[in-house]
Structure 1
């Protein structure tokens, strides 16, 4: 809208993604016209295993009421037929800024997204809290409870080491042992 009011022209943008190989030709024409229009194109960019490219057409105010098409020539087009992407008139697609219906729709969508995000946040917090409580309970039962049998005074390593000492000493020394 601002571009149309300020510069008296409009811009169509065509983004082509997921094509391979990277050799591609893009032209712009009026919908029922034969003349190729002057347009600008970005560089072909590699994205993972495929490529993407964008092109844009700036139309003067006198051509904004006409439909335009982006013509894509690529070897992977079905039947080797050029693919045509139709862009409707800039003037037909504009919605007045003061439109209450459009703003209510956007407002409802924003509220719905906000409610979903809030719900997801509280669900995450609840699950995290449950996990912490569960971990505390399990830790208490594994480490905090007394053992099933009384281990006071039971130290098997002491008895075994004492036994080893007893077998190596004489009977006179046994009477002098500290236990």
Structure 2
């Protein structure tokens, strides 16, 4: 087996061992006595290997059918695989019961899913997903805020009503403008008819006067 120069060794329990110019096997993981696992990496310290979150909110179908909603957080492209994910209410400190999938290896990094099912009065509360990983930027835990399910739904409903109201108002404005234009057209047509009748009357009267003058 070949060897390489390790610049960093990560211990599973979070302790860092700094070594330089130490020959280590090419294997990335070394299991030592007592179950301690060392992770050897040649990744540059400039490489961003912190968890990259993607969130998914509950669907309307789930909320209507089950009277509950599931917040899902997918974490990708992080290294090493040691990670802790838990959920709390926005202003709470109690860790909530949640579910998570296995940590899966993808190429040279890892991914993990965690989700929280919210029911009852909790659907009116905001929740946060907290991610602990040694490569988080600034060494600070990531916190992802999820909106209150029922509040978000109310906002969507209000937005839908607003869109319908705007469409109705636009339709009424168009109808009003069309009616106004139609009335203006009828008024102009009426004026034209009256004007034509007056001119016709004047011409006929003038013709009659001329005829009477010639007769006398």
Deviation (angstroms), 1:18: 0.9
Partner of 2:120: 61
Gapped runs of 5+ residues in structure 1? 103-179
1:74-104: CA deviations, max 9, x gaps? 01012322110111111222224x93849xx
**Is residue 29–residue 68 contact of structure 1 (8 Å, CA) maintained in 2?**
yes
Partner of 2:160: 99
Q: How does 1:64-83 map to 2 (within 5 A)?
A: 64-83=123-142
1:87-132: CA deviations, max 9, x gaps? 1111222224x93849xxxxxxxxxxxxxxxxxxxxxxxxxxxxxx
TM-score, L = length of structure 1: 0.52
Q: Distance in 1 between matches of 2:105 and 2:63?
A: 33
Partner of 1:38: 97
Does residue 89 of the first structure (1) align with residue 155 of the second (2)? no
Q: Distance in 1 between matches of 2:114 and 2:160?
A: 31
2:115 is paired with a residue whose SS is: strand
1:91 is paired with a residue whose SS is: helix
Q: Distance in 1 between matches of 2:100 and 2:137?
A: 23
Point out the structure with the larger strand share.
2
Cα RMSD (Å) of the superposition? 2.1
Point out the structure with the larger helix share.
1
Partner of 1:150: none
2:124 is paired with a residue whose SS is: coil
Partner of 1:140: none
Does residue 5 of the first structure (1) align with residue 97 of the second (2)? no
Looking at both structures, which has the greater relative contact order when contacts are Cα pairs under 8 Å and sequence separation is at least 6? 1
1:44-88: CA deviations, max 9, x gaps? 111111111111000112111111000000010123221101111
Deviation (angstroms), 1:9: 1.1
Gapped runs of 5+ residues in structure 2? 1-59, 165-216
State the 4+ residue runs in structure 1 displaced beyond 2 angstroms: 92-96, 98-102
1:20-41: CA deviations, max 9, x gaps? 0011000000011000000000
TM-score, L = length of structure 2: 0.44
